[in-house]
Amino acid sequence: MITTEFTREYGVDHPIVVGGMTGLGTAPLISAVANAGALGFLTALTQPTPEDLVKEIARTRDLTDRPFGVNLTILPTIQPVPYEEYRAAIVESGITVVETAGSSPEPHLPDFKAAGIKVIHKATSVRHALSAQRKGVDAISIDGFECAGHPGEDDVPGLVLIPAAAKALDIPIIASGGLATGSGLVAALALGACAVNMGTRFMATTEAPIHENVKDQIVANTERDTVLVFREFHNTARVVRNSISEKIVEISQQDGATFEDIAPLASGARGRQKVLEEGDMEGGMWWAGQAQGLIDSVGSCQEIVDEIIAEAEGIIRDRLPGYLA
């Protein structure tokens, strides 16, 4: 067993995190992650209302007695989100750890801290991580350029960003982006992280609530099968390469293009329904990271966690000592 500051502080067996994923962070997946000894996060805004979030937390507790958390992503939206009500639902449900992402978590910290909730904030740069540390978060999940979703605008990969963050910060860091294997876990620990965050790897699990075509596509894809969209609008996002994402890039690069020109193609609702639910791999834009190139099978969460830990322990025990003279 690999023990780190993270496993001790958060009461889990393994230094593996499955962060919030829109549409996927629901009870079936997160309870399976928890039962496997890792730390998973329900995605608050996947639930239509705060009341639905309370029910999903209860549903997860019916499926596991192990620790799990809730992700609260703070972003500007067309329709206002009742963040205060979601925050209250988290607090009143007795959640002990929250993952925040997007905008500053500062408005939410007083209530979380008063309830004894630990806050892990996702950041894509050292400067943003330092800002979150000053505001009082307990840990940072640092996202390298390889990650799915929004990697920021600096294009710094994990091999540089993880040790840079570890050197600058006084609080624990979780490495994120491009990680899907035991060797990646060992590398992240060597670079100064105390845990790893894996999203794409846990999309390809039997418990992930998405169509089997999506899981099979992740296995078939290589590290080259992602594309960066929204660069021209300073909101860079890494998504899977398909006809829709390539069309989004083509339109975005035209003179005078605006986000409204690509909005119908980039619709999150379209991607969730057509791709994740119905399995039409060309039906919409969908999200996964370069770690696709490291994933060669679909398995249960327990199998995936066991495989990652066994590989990591083997490297630490058998391979690395041989490098010492």
* pLDDT (tens digit per residue) in 158-174: 999 999 999 999 999 99
Distance CA 315, CA 309 (A): 10
**How many whole angstroms separate alpha carbon 97 and alpha carbon 19?**
12
pLDDT(74) > 90: yes
Decide: 137 and 105 in contact? Cβ < 8 Å: yes
pLDDT above 90: residue 325? no
pLDDT at 101 over 90: yes
pLDDT at 78 over 80: no
pTM of the model: 0.95
Q: What is the rounded CA–CA span in Å between residue 44 and residue 54?
A: 9
Contact at 8 Å (CB) between 88 and 115?
A: no
Has residue 228 got a pLDDT over 80? yes
CATH code, residues 5-208+298-323: 3.20.20.70
Confidence class for position 132, pLDDT limits 50, 70, 90: very high
pLDDT of residue 302: 98
* CA pair distance 194, 5, nearest whole angstrom: 6
With a cut of 90, say whether residue 135 has pLDDT above it. Answer: yes
pLDDT reported for residue 198:
98
Q: What are phi and psi of 205, to 5 degrees?
A: -130, 160
Q: Could you give the count of Cα atoms lying within 13 Å of 184 in the half-sphere of its Cβ?
A: 25
Query: Looking at the predicted structure, is the pLDDT value of residue 215 above 80?
Result: yes
Contact 122, 175 (CB under 8 A): no
The answer on pLDDT for 258 being more than 80 is yes
Integer Cα distance of 323 and 325 in angstroms? 6
Per-residue pLDDT averaged across 250-270, rounded? 92
pLDDT tens per residue across span 7-21: 999 999 999 999 999
* pLDDT for the residue numbered 297: 97
**In the chain, where are the structural domains located?**
5-208+298-323, 222-287
- Cα distances from 322 to residues 82, 186, 315, 317, 325, in angstroms, run 55, 15, 10, 9, 8
What sign for the dihedral angle of Cα 168, 171, 174, 177? Answer: negative
Please state, in angstroms and rounded to a whole number, the distance separating the CA atoms of residues 42 and 56: 8
Cβ(174)–Cβ(193) below 8 Å: yes
pLDDT at 60 over 90: yes
User: In the predicted model, is pLDDT for residue 77 greater than 80?
Assistant: no
Of 214, 223, 216, 226, give the one whose Cα is nearest residue 297: 216
pLDDT at 208: 97
Share of the chain above pLDDT 90, in %: 96
Here the tokens at position 33 are 């992650």
Q: Residue 13: phi, psi to the nearest 5?
A: -80, -35
Mean pLDDT of 142-152: 95
Please tell me the predicted confidence (pLDDT) of residue 158: 97
Please report which confidence band the pLDDT of residue 76 belongs to, taking 50, 70 and 90 as the band edges.
Answer: confident
CA distance 87 to 91: 6
Q: Is 266 exposed, middle or buried (0-12, 13-18, 19+ CB in 10 A)?
A: buried
For residue 104, the SS3 value is coil
What would the mean pLDDT of 179-198 be, rounded to a whole number? 98
Structure tokens at 139: 């840990």
Strand partners, 226: 240
